[in-house]
Amino acid sequence: MQQVIGKEAVLYTKDKGDRVRCTACARYCSIPEGKIGLCGIRGNIGGKLYLFVYGRIIAGQIDPIEKKPVIHYHPGSMIYSIATTGCNWLCQYCQNYDISQRRKIEGIEMSPEQVVEQALYYGCEGIAYTYNQPTIFIEYARDVGVIARSKGVFNIFVSNGYDTPETVSMMKEFLDCITVDFKGSGETKFVRRYIGIPDAQPVFDTLREIRDKTNIHVEITDLIVPKVGDDLDAARRLARFVHDELGPDVPLHFLRFHPDYKMMDLPYTPVETLEKHYDIAREEGLRYVYIGNIPGHRYESTYCPECNNIVVGRFGYNITAWNLDEHNRCIFCYYPIPIIGKLSKNAYRKRFQFIM
């Protein structure tokens, strides 16, 4: 009999016969006895669904919060980023493919308490669940996150948003912030060909669920893949959704693609393409639109919607100017900027990385 590792999952139901149905992501895998879901880390043993990576992380690293990217929540903070193996998407351009596409349970054993201890030891103000899709290991993330919150450490998901009402309900127990990362603006032809999902509708549904049932801070990213995932009409639909459904103050980041994994034949996203996406989002009424992965670009910074002065200057992951008062209002015209938290004490410390 297979040795059971990990811990019994919470998000599943009984299915027909000896099957169980996983409810941790929108695939809703129906898993027979002795088999594992597409993500590679949730499997059926004895009619129960187990999370095989519970208490086992494949990566742990110190990151600036701006790397996630999250820039309207506790700016300048340092974050302890963790991941397990596996993922519920099959992105052909994934820069973390050695982690996300690995279908072998590996990593260092770390209890939830130990993860939080590591974060505190290295002076981190938050924990990010990232590099692979965090909701596939959400029971572990929840147990880490509850302890983290009790110690004054906040929690961030870097997510593809391909979730369920059940995962959103569990997020409410511990999650403070989420950045939901669209690819190719969620255009159906792109996600079918390069991600392996039928469409991006569950992502939109998840964002509505988060909006309606939680107080989680939301930021949106969109990886613009040249030639195959840079459709301007799709970008306009996404920007309109963000504006109409989430609000004009929700940040939208357009990220530059770089060749990786199975898509080494494509070029970097042209700067002009990203600027066109930026212009479209602004035309749709979004107040805070950013271009990412191009250090030094003027649209890395935050501009006051009222007077158009720079209120937060950035170069890459570093904050170079802070023109907000103690209430996060523009110092030039006193317009309130929707940034949560003050400039972190870590903002001016030397950035460093710790790799396990």
Give the three-state DSSP class for 99. helix
Q: Which residues are annotated as a binding site?
A: 87, 91, 94
Q: What is the pLDDT of residue 5?
A: 81
Q: pLDDT at residue 294 above 80?
A: yes
Q: What is the pLDDT of residue 1?
A: 32
Q: What is the pLDDT of residue 346?
A: 80
If pLDDT is split at 50, 70 and 90, which confidence band does 355 have?
very low
If pLDDT is split at 50, 70 and 90, which confidence band does 167 have?
very high
Q: pLDDT at residue 3 above 60?
A: no
Q: What is the pLDDT of residue 348?
A: 57
Q: Which residues are annotated as a binding site for [4Fe-4S] cluster?
A: 87, 91, 94
Of residues 225, 188, 175, 167, the one with CA closest to residue 27: 167
Measured from the Cβ of residue 109, the count of other Cβ atoms closer than 10 Å reads: 9
Q: pLDDT at residue 8 above 70?
A: yes
Q: What is the pLDDT of residue 4?
A: 59
Average pLDDT on 208-219 reads: 98
| Identity of the amino acid at 105 | I
pLDDT in tens, 89-126: 999 999 999 999 999 999 999 999 999 999 999 999 99
Quick one: 293 and 305 in the same domain? no
Quick one: 113 and 229 in the same domain? yes
Quick one: 102 and 231 in the same domain? yes
Quick one: 43 and 145 in the same domain? no
What whole-number distance in Å separates Cα of residue 289 and Cα of residue 36? Answer: 40
Q: What is the pLDDT of residue 55?
A: 97
Q: What is the pLDDT of residue 2?
A: 47
Quote the DSSP letter at residue 70: -
Q: Which residues contact 294 (CB under 8 A, 6 or more apart)?
A: 256, 271, 274, 300
DSSP for 160-215, written as a single string = -----HHHHHHHTTT--EEEEEEEGGG-HHHHHHHT--S-SHHHHHHHHHHHHH--
More confident residue, 356 or 45: 45
Quick one: 24 and 173 in the same domain? no
Quick one: 101 and 180 in the same domain? yes
Of residues 355, 292, 318, the one with CA closest to residue 158: 292
Quick one: 165 and 250 in the same domain? yes
**Residue 350 falls within a domain, yes or no?**
no
Instruction: Identify the H or E element spanning 254.
Output: strand 252-256
> How many domains, the chain?
3
216: left (phi over 0), alpha (psi -120 to 50) or beta: beta
Quick one: 169 and 263 in the same domain? yes
What whole-number distance in Å separates Cα of residue 83 and Cα of residue 93? Answer: 18
By DSSP bridging, strand 78-83 and strand 126-129 are: parallel
Measured from the Cβ of residue 28, the count of other Cβ atoms closer than 10 Å reads: 16
Q: What is the pLDDT of residue 46?
A: 95
If pLDDT is split at 50, 70 and 90, which confidence band does 347 have?
confident
Angle at 212 between CA 77 and CA 343, to 5 degrees: 15
Helix axes 232-241, 271-283, angle to 10 degrees: 40
CATH of the domain at 147: 3.20.20.70
For residue 316, the enclosing domain spans 301-339
Whether 24 and 162 have beta carbons less than 8 Å apart is answered as no
Q: What is the pLDDT of residue 345?
A: 83
Mean pLDDT, the chain, rounded, equals 95
Q: pLDDT at residue 352 above 80?
A: no
**Residue 182 falls within a domain, yes or no?**
yes
Query: Among positive and negative, which fits the CA dihedral 64, 314, 157, 57?
Result: negative
| Identity of the amino acid at 167 | T
Q: pLDDT at residue 287 above 50?
A: yes
**Residue 322 falls within a domain, yes or no?**
yes
Of residues 262, 195, 226, the one with CA closest to residue 27: 195
Quick one: 231 and 312 in the same domain? no
**Residue 344 falls within a domain, yes or no?**
no
What whole-number distance in Å separates Cα of residue 63 and Cα of residue 96? Answer: 15
Quick one: 169 and 63 in the same domain? yes
For the chain, percent of residues with pLDDT exceeding 90: 95
If pLDDT is split at 50, 70 and 90, which confidence band does 350 have?
very low
Measured from the Cβ of residue 150, the count of other Cβ atoms closer than 10 Å reads: 10
Helix axes 112-121, 138-150, angle to 10 degrees: 50
Quick one: 66 and 215 in the same domain? yes
pLDDT in tens, 229-261: 999 999 999 999 999 999 999 999 999 999 999
